Amino acid sequence: MSPLKSETLPLRTDEDILLVRQTVRAWMVELAFNMVEQTMMVTATSELARNTVVYGGGGSARLELLADSGRQGVQVTFEDQGPGIADIEQALKDGYTTGVGLGMGLGGSKRLVNDFDIWSEVGKGTRVTITKWTLSHP
Amino acid sequence: MEQIPIHKVGEFLLVSVQVDMHDRQALILQNDLTTQVVKTRAKGVLIDISTVDIVDSFIGRMLGNMASITRVLGANVVVVGMQPAVAITIVELGLSLTNIHTALNVDKGMALLKTLVNKSTNEGRHEPFEK
């Protein structure tokens, strides 16, 4: 599935998180997602972008516009070359935190989107991909 | 970087968060608010988030912190104006915000603050020490 559109943004600072959030919002508006779907995707984006900056030591967010069997989707991939996550299952549990948040970041983000994919290797980095799909129009 | 203004309205402080707040701004607001509560001896704080389009776990934690810190200083906090989409999202995200008083809008928030302040006063929290 090759994307119809893609854009990669850096994630190093607080301001970068804000720009990624605003860009994802603009894409969601463009695809006419409703307010709740927009808010869920932007909130998940905010959680994961912060993880990339704070825990991953910085990285990037790649936005992609996808089309698949009559529906369209906004996909965002967060990638860093940080320390990685030793126990992904534990990290996905609510309340698990090593620092600044409430520990709702990973598990919570997963509930806010349609597709959630995580890869991580200790010493290599972490990659999280989230997708929100429009309803298909047959 | 835009600073979030804190206004004094009678015995209350009013904070209207009108920017897409990043993490450092949220921390600055937390510090500014703490300073102002002490300086003005405000009995209540109203935080208006009606133009805030997301509350993630970090902002949620900041709101909770501001409520707790202000309570320790003898004042009450009410968060008002949360957008419906934000409310749905924070519940799905798993944020409970149980330690925060909330109200639908500024008017209802003011009314709730007055009730909370009266209650605290009757419980003697703001009364001078009597021998």
Q: Which CATH number is associated with domain B6-122? A: 3.30.750.24
* Cβ atoms within 10 Å, residue A43: 28
Biggest alpha carbon distance in chain B? 52
- Sorted by where each begins, the domain ranges of chain B are 6-122
Interface ipTM > 0.90: no
Q: How many CB pairs lie under 8 A apart between chains A and B?
A: 78
Q: Give the span between the Cα atoms of B102 and A80, in whole angstroms.
A: 37
What is the rounded distance in angstroms from the CA atom of residue A79 to the CA atom of residue A129? 9
Residues of A in contact with B90 (CB under 8 A): 43
Tokens coding A71 = 């529906």
Q: What pLDDT does residue A104 have?
A: 59
The answer to whether the CB atoms of B53 and A39 lie below 8 A apart is yes
Q: B20, A22: Cβ pair inside 8 Å?
A: yes
Q: What is the mean pLDDT of residues B33-61?
A: 94
Q: Which two tokens stand for residue A111?
A: 């509930």
Beta strand residue intervals within B29-92, DSSP E = 44-48, 76-80
Tell me the pTM.
Answer: 0.90
CA distance B9 to chain A (A): 31
Strand partners, A9: A61
- Euclidean distance between CA atoms A68 and B112, whole angstroms: 50
Rounded Cα–Cα distance for residues A36 and A52 (Å): 24
Q: Average pLDDT of each block of 10 consecutive residues along chain A (138 residues)?
A: 92 96 97 96 96 94 94 96 89 68 75 95 96 77
Structural domains of chain A in order of their starting residue, each with its CATH number: 5-133 (3.30.565.10)
Verify whether the Cβ–Cβ distance A103 to B57 is below 8 Å.
Answer: yes
Alpha-carbon separation of residue B117 from A107, B10, B70, B103, B108 (angstroms) = 38, 13, 12, 15, 14
Element (H, E) at B66: helix B57-72
